[in-house]
Amino acid sequence: MNTNTYRIILALYLMLFMVSAQAQLPAVLPSGILVGGNMNNRFLFFGNSEKTYDFLFRSMNGLILKGEGIVNIIHIGDSHIQAGFLPEQLRKDFSSFISPGCGARGLVFPYRIAKTNNPADYFVKFTGKWENCRNVETNKNCSLGLTGIKAQTRDTLAEMTFHFRENSTFRDFNFIRIFHDPLDTNFRIDFPGLAGMYHVVLPIQTGYSDLRFDSIISDSLKIRIIKKDTTGNYFTFYGIDFENGDPGIVYSASGINGAEVTSYLRCDLMKDQLRKMKPDWVILSLGTNDAYPLHFNKEEFIVNYIALVKIIREADPGVPVLLTVPGDSYRRHRNDNLNLVAAREAILEVARQTDCAVWDFYSLMGGQKSIMNWYKAGLVARDKLHFSKPGYLIQADLLFGAFVDAWSSFIDQSNLSD
């Protein structure tokens, strides 16, 4: 297939998607809810950032045209991400390009063990006594990884079970990677009911365990932690990556309620775990909590955010990074948060200094005082800080639309013969 044929097929495919999306938006979005309408919904590229997206877009081309490859996306953020509505809608948006069921769920954490809210597409049951630590708890000194949270137990027998709901986008898996502290011989990981149906790819002493199952599993997985004696050692769990090897999208979301940029700077294991995950695209959605206090130090925020991007680039120097600007919000339910203007300027400056792309949701939704327009439309929660479920779904669709716009531009400008 020659270059022009590739370009025509992909352009038609994306055009049909964009027409469909544009046709649906007026029925969903109240009139005037977006500044300039959906036409202003695009990525802003700084420095060499647009070039870093070439491999990502080529991978998407191969996935769509040839049904080959896996595109691995990691989205890091705060409560807007932990809630799960925005990530799950993005999974559905990306899966709309590929055959239903192709792709895998990616990295998850049993938030319920840590007594905090769990994304709705799966639920967790557990036994045993577990302790936890999150990257927002500055009074604790604990090692953390990519998820920004951990759970640990020293019970002789403890279990956790992940149940994927029927309406979840990706449920099938035959491979898992469990992130944990390097284990000594006092611990053993077992999977009740699956004896003889899996084998260890990498041993558990390495800080993560790779296991492959002999057949596809579609609904749930029970993990049993067995401790052979009563010593004071802990089993420490950082998260589990569900994969199936199918061509498609693997979209992993890592969000912690109240997280700031500095929260992820405290995650000393994040760089190593990012290397293991091998992302094709990293999205950072931070700044809401950084800008929430009365006094916002813009320069310090810039320095910290650059340090976080540096960690990601040290894990994978060529990975494209997208910084999203937080939307407008109130402070303490009633006060305009003027710091968000400075936070937006700071994020743009970080992008300039680090060759990142930016999705400026703050400007798109209307900038200062626009939160009330969204609130009156039923798209924002009563605290005027978080969004309602419909608000998060619209935000996800808009972000995906901006991605498609950038991808379409790449197709128009590129030589696709290879």
Placement of tokens 């929260």 in the chain: 263
Q: Which amino acid is at 357?
A: A
Indicate the domain borders of the chain: 1-21+28-78+258-379+392-418, 101-248
Topology agreement, domain 1-21+28-78+258-379+392-418 and domain 101-248? no
Around Cβ 161, how many Cβ atoms within 10 Å? 16
pLDDT at 23: 37
Range list of β-strands (E), 181-264: 187-190, 198-202, 208-217, 220-227, 235-243, 248-255
Sheet with 157-164, side-by-side order of all strands: 122-127, 157-164, 220-227, 187-190
Which has more confidence, 247 or 39? Answer: 247
Residue 280, judged by CB atoms within 10 A of its CB (0-12, 13-18, 19+), counts as buried
What length does the chain have?
A: 418
pLDDT at 229 over 90: no
**CATH entry 1.10.3720.10 includes domain 101-248:** no
Q: What is the mean predicted confidence (pLDDT) over 341-345?
A: 97
Cα distance between residue 239 and residue 255, in whole Å:
12
pLDDT tens per residue across span 289-300: 999 999 999 999
Residues 6 or more apart whose CB falls under 8 angstroms from that of 149 comprise 109, 111, 114, 132, 133, 134, 135, 238, 256
Cα distance between residue 272 and residue 102, in whole Å:
27
8 Å CB contact between 180 and 225: no
What three-state secondary structure class fits 206?
helix
pLDDT band with cut points at 50, 70 and 90 for residue 26: very low
Q: Rounded to the nearest 10 degrees, what angle do helices 298-315 and 270-277 cross at?
A: 50
Torsion of CA 10, 16, 21, 22, to 10 degrees: 110
1-21+28-78+258-379+392-418 folds as Rossmann fold (3.40.50)
Q: What is the mean predicted confidence (pLDDT) over 213-229?
A: 89
Q: What is the mean predicted confidence (pLDDT) over 215-224?
A: 91
Q: Which amino acid is at 70?
A: I
pLDDT at 320: 97
